Structure 1
Amino acid sequence: MNQGAHWRNVFTGVMLLLAGAALGAALVKIAGNGNPPSRTVAASPTAATSTTQEPAPQTIKDGVLVYLFHGNVRCPTCLAIEASTKEVLEANFAQELNSRRIIIRELNYEKPENKPYIEKYKLIAPTVVMVRIHDGEEKEFVNIMEVWQCVGDKDAFTRLISDNMQKMLQDTTG
Structure 2
Amino acid sequence: MKNLFYTLIAAILLISCGNGAEKRTETASTDVKQADRIEVLYFHGAQRCVTCKAIESNTKALLDSLYSNEIASGKIVYKIIDISQKENEEVADKYEVTWSSLFVNRWKNGTEEVNNMTEFGFANAKNDPDSFKNGIKSKIDELLK
| 2:7 aligned partner | none
Is residue 45–residue 138 contact of structure 1 (8 Å, CA) maintained in 2?
no
Alignment pair present for 1:24 and 2:10: no
Q: Deviations over 1:10-43 (max 9, x none)?
A: xxxxxxxxxxxx96353589557xxxx5321011
Q: Distance in 2 between matches of 1:120 and 1:86?
A: 23
Q: Determine what percentage of the aligned residue pairs are the same residue.
A: 25
| 1:107 aligned partner | 81
SS of the equivalent of 1:110 reads: coil
Is residue 64–residue 169 contact of structure 1 (8 Å, CA) maintained in 2?
yes
Is residue 37–residue 75 contact of structure 2 (8 Å, CA) maintained in 1?
yes
1:46-61 superposed matches below 5 A: 61=35
Q: Distance in 2 between matches of 1:129 and 1:113?
A: 19
Is residue 122–residue 143 contact of structure 1 (8 Å, CA) maintained in 2?
no
- The equivalent position to 1:77 in structure 2, one of 47, 51, 64, is 51
Q: Deviations over 1:82-138 (max 9, x none)?
A: 010011122222221222210111111232332233342232430211221124x34
| 1:168 aligned partner | 143
CA positional deviation for 1:45:
6.0
Q: TM-score, normalised by structure 1?
A: 0.64
| Higher RCO structure, 1 or 2 (CA under 8 Å, sep 6+) | 2
- The equivalent position to 1:143 in structure 2, one of 105, 113, 116, is 116
* Matched residue type, 1:44: T
Question: How well do the aligned residues superpose, as a CA RMSD in angstroms?
Answer: 2.8
Question: 1:61–1:25: structure 2 CA closer, same or farther, 3 Å change rule?
Answer: closer
Count of residue pairs the alignment pairs up = 132
Q: Following superposition, which runs of at least 4 residues in structure 1 exceed 6 angstroms of deviation?
A: none
- The equivalent position to 1:156 in structure 2, one of 131, 140, 143, is 131
| 1:133 aligned partner | 107
| 1:43 aligned partner | 29
Q: Deviations over 1:126-168 (max 9, x none)?
A: 0211221124x34211111110110120221012111111122
* Matched residue type, 1:94: S
Structure 2 unmatched runs, 5+: 1-10
